[in-house]
């Protein structure tokens, strides 16, 4: 059912996005890979996927802070691939600091990349999905789309925003066979959280591994960091026919973080 469809995953040059790309490629799903990587390395990654999984691929390094770049990127992706059947808004950045001193440029970047970019990619993908009467939009939010933590004002605002965007678009798309959901992960083992681990290691004079455990343990009753591939497998389930009635949802995958 999914073989031959096309997925566009923003931020798929590392972490969760890259792991999700592998999971979808294994099903024969064509891929638009994207992220901050130079064109040569991006093309090599796309070629590697194409050869290994016998799928059609495209790489683009559009900067998601720039609406014009996103517009060009989406037009190219649709022209080359036909249409975008599965859109995964995954790219994101983090900066942790008290609201008292939170830098304006970090606020702007987090809102642009973690929230506004998804508005643009969704808007550009919908026409093709409506024509086909089928689509899956999956936004990688966070537990921080459901609850807050200290020193994460911009991230929490952006992630609550994308959970709201998910609900609003789900209502507008429900009768077109398009589902729209947010996944809300707890801690996932990627480079996004390395700064936070390094801060704890420094503050407590412990090793990186000990700091990682402390970070997870402070929030999650299940004291285990997720493998990014687990998120990829959840994305795959949301693309399946079994998940066709799940829409407008913010789905925690968080080791019981938000159950407390």
> Which of 193, 211, 236, 238 touches ligand NAD by CB under 6 A?
193
Alpha-carbon dihedral of residues 38, 44, 50, 51, nearest 10 degrees? -170
Report if residue 190 touches ligand NAD, rule: CB under 6 A.
yes
> Which range binds ligand NAD by CB under 6 A, 9-17, 172-180, 202-210, 213-221?
9-17
Q: Which is nearer to ligand NAD, 134 or 152 (CB)?
A: 152
Catalytic site includes residue 213: no
> Which of 32, 91, 156, 173 touches ligand NAD by CB under 6 A?
91
φ/ψ of residue 142, rounded to 5? 180, 165
Report if residue 132 touches ligand NAD, rule: CB under 6 A.
no
Report if residue 105 touches ligand NAD, rule: CB under 6 A.
no
Of the candidates 151, 29, 22, the one whose C-alpha atom is nearest the C-alpha of residue 81 is 29
Report if residue 187 touches ligand NAD, rule: CB under 6 A.
yes
Q: Which is nearer to ligand NAD, 90 or 125 (CB)?
A: 90
Q: Which of residues 43-72 bind ligand NAD (CB under 6 A)?
A: 63-65
Tally of CA atoms within 13 A in the half-sphere of 13 that contains its CB: 18
Q: Which is nearer to ligand NAD, 83 or 90 (CB)?
A: 90
Q: Which is nearer to ligand NAD, 135 or 186 (CB)?
A: 186
Report if residue 17 touches ligand NAD, rule: CB under 6 A.
yes
> Which of 6, 57, 83, 90 touches ligand NAD by CB under 6 A?
90
Q: Which of 22, 53, 155, 213 is catalytic?
A: 155
Report if residue 77 touches ligand NAD, rule: CB under 6 A.
no
Of the candidates 101, 57, 53, the one whose C-alpha atom is nearest the C-alpha of residue 81 is 57
Q: Which is nearer to ligand NAD, 74 or 113 (CB)?
A: 113
Contact 102, 154 (CB under 8 A): yes
Report if residue 191 touches ligand NAD, rule: CB under 6 A.
yes
Which sequence positions are flagged as catalytic? 155
Residues that bind ligand NAD (CB under 6 A): 11, 13-17, 35-36, 63-65, 90-93, 113-114, 140, 142, 185, 187-188, 190-193
């Amino acid at each position: 059912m999914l073989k031959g469809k096309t997925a566009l995953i923003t931020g798929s040059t590392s972490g969760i996005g890259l792991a999700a790309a592998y999971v979808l490629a294994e099903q024969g799903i064509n891929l638009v890979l994207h992220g901050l990587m130079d064109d040569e390395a991006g093309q090599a990654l796309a070629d590697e996927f194409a050869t290994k999984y016998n799928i059609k691929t495209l790489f683009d390094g559009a900067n998601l802070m720039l609406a014009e770049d996103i517009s060009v990127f989406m037009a190219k992706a649709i022209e080359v691939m036909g249409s975008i059947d599965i859109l995964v808004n995954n790219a994101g950045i983090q900066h942790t600091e008290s609201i008292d001193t939170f830098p304006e440029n970090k606020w702007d970047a987090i809102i642009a990349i973690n929230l506004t970019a998804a508005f643009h990619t969704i808007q550009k993908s919908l026409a093709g999905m409506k024509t086909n009467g089928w689509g899956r939009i999956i936004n990688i939010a966070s537990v921080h789309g459901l609850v807050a933590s200290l020193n994460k004002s911009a991230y929490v605002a952006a992630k609550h925003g994308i959970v709201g965007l998910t609900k609003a678009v789900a209502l507008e798309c429900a009768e077109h066979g398009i589902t729209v959901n947010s996944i809300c992960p707890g801690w996932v083992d990627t480079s996004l959280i390395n700064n936070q681990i390094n801060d704890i290691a420094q503050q407590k004079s412990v090793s990186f591994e000990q700091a990682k455990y402390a970070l997870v343990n402070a929030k999650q009753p299940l004291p285990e960091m997720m493998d990014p591939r687990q998120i990829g497998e959840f994305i795959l389930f949301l693309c399946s026919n079994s998940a066709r009635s799940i829409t407008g949802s913010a789905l925690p995958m968080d080791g019981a973080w938000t159950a407390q």
